[in-house]
Amino acid sequence: MKKLLFFSFFFACSLAKAQKMTTITYFQNDTLKLDLDLFVPENASKTKLPLMIYVHGGGFSGGERESGHSLCKYLANNGFASATITYTLYAKGKNFGCDGALPNKIKSFQFAANDLWLATSYFIKNSEKHNIDVDKIFISGSSAGAEAVLHAAFWDFKTMNLYAKNALPKDFRYAGLVSGAGAIMDLNMITKKNIIPMLFFHGSADTVVPFGTAAHHLCKTNSSNWLMLFGSNSIYNHALSLDGSTSLYTYCGGGHEYSGTLFEKDQFYILNFLNDVLIGKKVQNHTVFKTGKKADKANPYGFCE
């Protein structure tokens, strides 16, 4: 028993030393300073590393980049560079509920997506310094972070860019994305031309961010902050219609509490997805997990087939 405990302790310590973290200011101007935590394998080879950038949740008003440390450490232990970013919390102090102001909600999405573009631009400009393969940059996010990721991937950069000095290479595309309980404002932004590999996971009875197609927070149509969103199931089906590479993990009857599940545990699903993309493997699959919760069949977005 003592030998087993010693081995477990030694193994845990070895993992803890398998990656290293550096905090970096990726953007700063007169009024804004944005940092990220970069994790890389401790003994990385000279081969350029694929990179995952993670965006935390928190309703665009809270949350912290440290919530992505578990995922970043896991990926660094498996040969990836991985970063978790601080971004502009535009909704902080504002009413983000159904009786709030819709322009603030849309601006929250835009600022977060822009900060993700800034972080991406930083890594492209400093790819040699950090040994990053700029053709293998992935993005991921939970809840609000997932909404930022989806819009950063598919919004037109020239139209939605807020920073004059920010520039991404012409025709830049992320290598793929992972969305935990995310949604997009317009499915038409995802086309045959710009689609990328995508992995989604979502509770089917989520009343904050819809699993299917519904209003954000399920607000009534006469609400001042009413906004239709297309959630994981809707995006997944749209991706299938475009013959894209995509996977969906549905937590049957689950709510918004599942928005971070694969980032916090069962992270091998994400690693498998990344490795499949890197070898050019096309995947189209939908996996349903039982949660022990009763799906509400009266709510079409809480029903699991």
**CATH classification of the domain holding 275:** 3.40.50.1820
DSSP 98: T
Residue 26 is assigned to a structural domain of this protein: no
Beta bridge partners of 287: 249
Neighbouring CB atoms inside 10 A of 180's CB total 29
- Decide if 53 is inside a domain: yes
**pLDDT score, position 63:** 96
Rounded to 10°, the helix 268-278/69-76 angle is 50
For 305, how many CA atoms within 13 A lie in the half-sphere containing its CB? 5
Q: Is residue 283 part of a domain?
A: yes
Number of Cβ within a 10 Å radius of residue 17: 11
Residues 6+ apart with CB under 8 A from 219: 97, 98, 225, 226, 227
Greatest distance between any 2 Cα atoms in the chain: 65
Q: Give a three-class secondary structure readout of 169-205.
A: CCCCCCCEEEEECCEECCHHHCCCCCCCCEEEEEECC
User: What pLDDT was estimated at residue 18?
Assistant: 66
Q: How many distinct structural domains can be found in the chain?
A: 1
Note whether residue 201 is domain-resident. yes
With a threshold of 0.75, does the pTM exceed it?
yes
Quote the pLDDT of residue 81. 97
Q: Does residue 305 form part of some domain?
A: no
Supply 91's token pair: 């909704």
Does residue 104 sit in helix, strand or coil? Answer: helix
Does 196 fall in a domain? yes
4 falls within a domain: no
Residue 20 in any domain: the answer is: no
Q: Which residues have C-beta within 8 Å of that of residue 274, sequence separation ≥ 6?
A: 50, 52, 75, 80, 138, 176
**pLDDT at position 72, please?**
98
Write out the chain's pLDDT in tens, 305 residues.
444 444 443 444 444 446 789 999 999 999 999 999 999 998 767 889 999 999 999 999 999 999 999 999 999 999 999 999 999 999 999 999 999 999 999 999 999 999 999 999 999 999 999 999 999 999 999 999 999 999 999 999 999 999 988 889 988 999 999 999 999 999 999 999 999 999 999 999 999 999 999 999 999 999 999 999 999 999 999 999 999 999 999 999 999 999 999 999 999 999 999 999 999 999 999 999 988 887 665 565 566 66
Range of the domain at 185: 33-290
